[in-house]
Amino acid sequence: MTNEQIWEERYKSKRNIPNWPFDLIVSLVFRFFGKTDDRKNIKVLDYGCGGGNNFWFLIKEGFDGYACDISKEALNITKNKLASEGLLVTEDRYSQILNTNLPYPDNYFSCIIDRESLCQSNWEDIKKIVNEFNRILKPGGYYIGINFTCLHPDTKYGRYIGSGDWTDFESGLFKSQGQRHLFNTGDIYESFRNFEILEFAHLGIHSLMLTSNLGTSEFIVVAKK
């Protein structure tokens, strides 16, 4: 199955869909735009919106939000989540991603948020997608991304296929999620070479319990066009 088919099936099964926005995404969006007088003038793209938890936050807080995902079902879940609270968002704000080209005009967004979505692509596609981020962001616009790294403890369950790409995870967090890319520091500097990197941090949890599944490893990247 392709990654698109895998995620379509996962969303249809309603598995592991978070209800609340991710705390670091909230904090970083507010750091740059929290004091903006009219948030309706701030266009923000939720790249890989999933079940809509972060998109819900953007709309609730008054931003001019747009959502995209490779999964049509994810977009449906997002629409239903917002509609259930009376948050009406026009259909043109939702887009299904069919390839590495993003369906938005040049210099359009003030911000792109990305919570573990860029790493769902392979390395060659990631470089193309980041170029698209550069194209659709306004001058001075921000990319705010959090993605898994090659230091993640669950690499022991997967099969490395080169260029930072992994597949066939037998267990752990990435099981049944298809192929993905796990970033190293060089990948970040190479893919965001046309940006000014304002923040590049590592978020890691290493459990001291041998039976624990708590461990993680993620890069936090804030880059400015």
Q: 24-78, pLDDT tens digit by residue?
A: 999 999 999 999 989 999 999 999 999 999 999 999 999 999 999 999 999 999 9
The predicted pLDDT at position 182 comes to 98
Q: Judge whether residue 211 has pLDDT over 90.
A: no
CA distance 9 to 17: 13
Q: One-letter amino acid identity for 37?
A: D
The more confidently predicted of residues 2 and 224 is 224
The predicted pLDDT at position 129 comes to 98
Name the CATH code of domain 3-14+21-224 (choices 3.40.1160.10, 3.40.47.10, 3.40.50.2300, 3.40.50.150).
3.40.50.150
Q: Judge whether residue 214 has pLDDT over 90.
A: no
The residue ranges of every structural domain in the chain are 3-14+21-224
CB contact at 8 A, 214 and 186: no
CB contact at 8 A, 48 and 25: no
Is pTM beyond 0.95? Reply is yes
Phi and psi, residue 164, nearest 5° = 85, 5
Q: Could you report the per-residue pLDDT of 127-168, keeping only the tens digit for each?
A: 999 999 999 999 999 999 999 999 999 999 999 999 999 999
